[in-house]
Amino acid sequence: MSSTKQGKIVIVTGVPGVGKTTVLNAALDLCLKSGKDVSLVNYGNIMFEEASKLGLVRARDEMRRLPVKTQVDLQLQASESIRQINGNVIVDTHMFINTSKGYMPGIPSWVAGALKPDAIVLLEADPEEISKRRSKDVAIRVRESDSPERITEHQMMGRAGAAAVSVQTGCTVVVAKNREGGYIEAAKVIASLFWEG
Amino acid sequence: MSSTKQGKIVIVTGVPGVGKTTVLNAALDLCLKSGKDVSLVNYGNIMFEEASKLGLVRARDEMRRLPVKTQVDLQLQASESIRQINGNVIVDTHMFINTSKGYMPGIPSWVAGALKPDAIVLLEADPEEISKRRSKDVAIRVRESDSPERITEHQMMGRAGAAAVSVQTGCTVVVAKNREGGYIEAAKVIASLFWEG
Amino acid sequence: MSSTKQGKIVIVTGVPGVGKTTVLNAALDLCLKSGKDVSLVNYGNIMFEEASKLGLVRARDEMRRLPVKTQVDLQLQASESIRQINGNVIVDTHMFINTSKGYMPGIPSWVAGALKPDAIVLLEADPEEISKRRSKDVAIRVRESDSPERITEHQMMGRAGAAAVSVQTGCTVVVAKNREGGYIEAAKVIASLFWEG
């Protein structure tokens, strides 16, 4: 029964360029130092593993070409796998993914209902800062979606989506600021969700 | 079965004065030129047609005086009628309607679940611009709700409502800007949702 | 049957320091003067009464230590009790409560579904004003969450949560501004929700 899970599930989301990897690694470090055992999983990776096991895809890119029903089944299986992990889990995923067809929900209601998270962390940073970071990344072609205005919009959509999931499931929502040179502060906010009280 | 619909359903919403009619006509034009067959329907009109057929009302105004249960039934029938249209459909409706009792949802969860849209487009414009346009329209009595502050609020509520529908159904959300003199850009954003890839 | 309730249910929410008590008392006064019978209940108090009756707790603080399932049962019982009140009801509660684990939803989907509110009022004030009021309250230790930036965030989350409840249930959402020296205006907005038309 998924509802008997021991330990907490904390979803961490953030737009590209917000500095999620750095913050998550620091959060895991803080958890370890405070004696809290916390696993970090990437939601997309778990879904891909499920799809690979079933022989449905060989590359990650192929997943979004699967029939919608198959994708939903994979999402539910991934959620169930995550709930079966012992102890505390951080799930690295997106609230909304910016695609050519618009913002796609990363935590649709069926995933939220299956994952039953304790909290969703919205990792946010200054849109100007994120825009600058993206423009420095030579691997990324700068697009209109990388303007501070669009990043503000993306982060605002994230808040609205998290509010919807919170109302649906009862989980809490944490807005953690990843300020320039202050990633440790954001990491502390995440780590503190696993402390008692 | 409604779930076997061929073609896409794209809902387009926007506050009064955003320029929706102009943008939608341009979008239909672009679709036609690119060989895509797209029908445009107005959600309220379809509901009114259903109500008229059943002899429930003679004028549109009478609809909101029908019992709530009847209104819900009409909404579901209208959604089903739209899903039975062959090919691609643009549904012209509102995310929230500004009434004397507050913002009323135009796409409540039961409509969203029945319509199963592929995408919701939030057509937005500069609140100062919208406010000016409304004040030029002599048919409209200028009210406090026409202030840029209230228009900002209305558009923000639209984003939050679209995020909730997106989380519920999995549809994408597109924020399309109708900038002064740039309605073709907004139309392209809508038309591109019917293209492949 | 809860769906046969006579009278309206209006939920009023607002962050600490917004001036909710003053506005609610003025709204009740206006209702009384206009001959409208309206009861005011505090959602948390009703929940505590239900828990006390069942011998589950002796102090309010003990409620959040009850098993989650028990808390949900109490929420549903409180919602049912409120629906059984004769006539119009204002429910004083929170859209999101700022806890050490993040924003906790005050009106999760099961409460919204059981309460079936007609409207949610978001009582808002200028974040700078709220921040100042909180700093003057000697009983409150000033925290980072009392900064205007965080109050803006809290109020924005409230809008998003209300949009989600509105989409779920079909209730309207009213953003009522409690401007400095203008609490009567905010009270009028609330009272007018009980008027016809």
Do the beta carbons of residue B78 and residue B50 sit within 8 Å? yes
The whole-angstrom distance between C175's CA and the closest CA on chain B is 8
Q: CA angle A88-A92-A94, nearest 5°?
A: 140
The whole-angstrom distance between C63's CA and the closest CA on chain A is 14
Q: What is the pLDDT of residue A2?
A: 43
Contact between chains at A161 and B163 (C-beta distance less than 8 A)? yes
Residues of B in contact with C121 (CB under 8 A): 102
Residue of C nearest to A193 (CA): C101
Q: Read off the tokens for B72.
A: 């819900």
Q: Read off the tokens for B58.
A: 């003679």
Q: What is the pLDDT of residue B84?
A: 96
Contact between chains at A99 and B166 (C-beta distance less than 8 A)? no
User: Taking 70 as the threshold, does the pLDDT of residue A78 lie above it?
Assistant: yes
User: Taking 80 as the threshold, does the pLDDT of residue B166 lie above it?
Assistant: yes
Q: Which amino acid is at B17?
A: G
Domains of chain A (ranges plus CATH)? 2-41+87-194 (3.40.50.300)
Q: What is the pLDDT of residue A197?
A: 61
Do the beta carbons of residue C123 and residue C42 sit within 8 Å? no
- Dist CA B21 CA B7 (whole Å): 22
Please give the full DSSP string across B28-91, using - where no structure is assigned: HHHHHHTT--EEEEEHHHHHHHHHHHTTS-SSGGGGGGS-HHHHHHHHHHHHHHHHTSSSEEEE
- Dist CA C117 CA C187 (whole Å): 18
Q: What rounded mean pLDDT belongs to chain C?
A: 94
Residue bearing the bigger pLDDT, A84 or A136: A84
**Which ipTM did the prediction report?**
0.94
H or E element in which residue C154 lies: helix C148-169
Best mutation target among B11, B64, B103 (most C Cβ atoms within 10 Å) is B103
Strand order in the sheet with C96-99: A38-42, A88-92, A9-13, A119-124, A172-177, C102-105, C96-99
Q: What is the pLDDT of residues A158-176, one digit of tens each?
A: 999 999 999 999 999 999 9
Q: Which range, of A87-91, B66-70, B141-145, C72-76, averages the lowest pLDDT? A: B141-145
User: Taking 60 as the threshold, does the pLDDT of residue B1 lie above it?
Assistant: no
Whose structure tokens read 């709204």?
Answer: C27
Q: What is the pLDDT of residue C145?
A: 84
CA atoms within 13 A on the CB side of C93: 30
The whole-angstrom distance between A104's CA and the closest CA on chain B is 5
Residues in contact with A10: Cβ distance below 8 Å, sequence separation at least 6, in sequence order: A88, A89, A90, A91, A117, A118, A119, A120, A121, A190, A193, A194
Residue of B nearest to C124 (CA): B153
Residue A192 buriedness (CB in 10 A; 0-12 / 13-18 / 19+): middle
Q: What is the pLDDT of residue C2?
A: 44
User: Taking 60 as the threshold, does the pLDDT of residue A1 lie above it?
Assistant: no
Q: What is the pLDDT of residues B57-83, one digit of tens each?
A: 999 989 988 999 999 999 999 999 999
Residues of A in contact with B164 (CB under 8 A): 160-161, 163-164, 167
pTM (2 d.p.): 0.96
- Count A/B contacts: CB-CB distance under 8 Å: 68
